[in-house]
Amino acid sequence: MGTEHEDMRLTPEFKDYELLDSGAFEKLERFGDYVLRRPEPQAIWHRSLPEKEWERADASFIRDGRSEERGQWRLKPGMPSRWSVRYDYRDMHLSMRLGLTSFKHVGIFPEQASNWNFIYDSCREKGRARVLNLFAYTGGASLAARAAGADVTHVDSVRQVVTWARENMEASGMDGIRWIVEDALKFVRREVRRGNLYDGIILDPPAYGRGPEGEKWVLEENIAEMLDCCAGIIAKNGAFLVLNLYSMGLSPTLARTAVRQIFGVPQEEECGELYFADRRSKELPLGTFYRFKR
């Protein structure tokens, strides 16, 4: 069977999330019952809503003048520091706890729900799949695989984030995920030596990161070795791979070329952009994805 390839633009149906407006390097979003205002470097256009609408946000992130990422939240009365949202797809029902962090993140990247659907469907097709989720954060992809009956290994270098993911698993009525607090590259090197194999691998690497023992991760410098290692631990038949890239300037073509060079040409592949459109149909790109089945 020949390779099926299509460049795609994906946005999920997520009832508990809405991009209300975007522009002037900010975005206005609804997570469940609360509206948040956050910086967004790719929103280079003008806002559509008046400033008074933006000022009604329940929580607004104010950047530290010395940092692009760090800052603090300004909260309206009644805004909790923690709350939950739900995501439903077929027989998958996830409950994700959100929180306001000093890095402007809230514990979920809602555009990734498009990949959660793919992971869930792929695991259901496989049956009892073994899935490895690297740079796994608060575990949306891990929960999607587990909801489909997969044996899941969840790897992240930050212990507090792994604890957060465990809370999401329990809130979603699941159990049985294997939790690993370790540098992702160090873990997969060891898995290669052990000869362990997985039916699905999920890679969601940051542009920069640090392991628990100070290990340095730089996406452009380390991604080739990471893909090499993953190629050594993925099953030959019926396996899937999901790769996300968030660094601005990294294209779907780049992701496809890097994966094909190491894994070969798969039976089916998809790549493109994840995005959300606001109420005025302005489409905000939120990352590049590549995924295959073989």
Q: Rounded to two decimals, what is the model's pTM?
A: 0.95
**Structural domains in the chain plus CATH codes:** 4-61+65-293 (3.40.50.150)
- Give Cα 11 distance to the centre of its chain: 13
Mean pLDDT of the chain: 95
Which of 293, 278, 233 has the alpha carbon at shortest distance from 40?
278
CB 134 within 8 A of CB 187: yes
**Mean pLDDT, residues 215-220 taken together:** 91
Q: What is the pLDDT of residues 174-194, one digit of tens each?
A: 999 999 999 999 999 999 999
| pLDDT at residue 246 in the model | 83
**Mean pLDDT, residues 133-148 taken together:** 98
CB 240 within 8 A of CB 293: yes
**Mean pLDDT, residues 90-98 taken together:** 98
Q: What is the pLDDT of residues 47-90, one digit of tens each?
A: 999 999 999 999 999 988 777 678 999 999 999 999 999 999 99
Q: Where are the alpha helices (DSSP H) in 108-153?
A: 113-126, 140-147
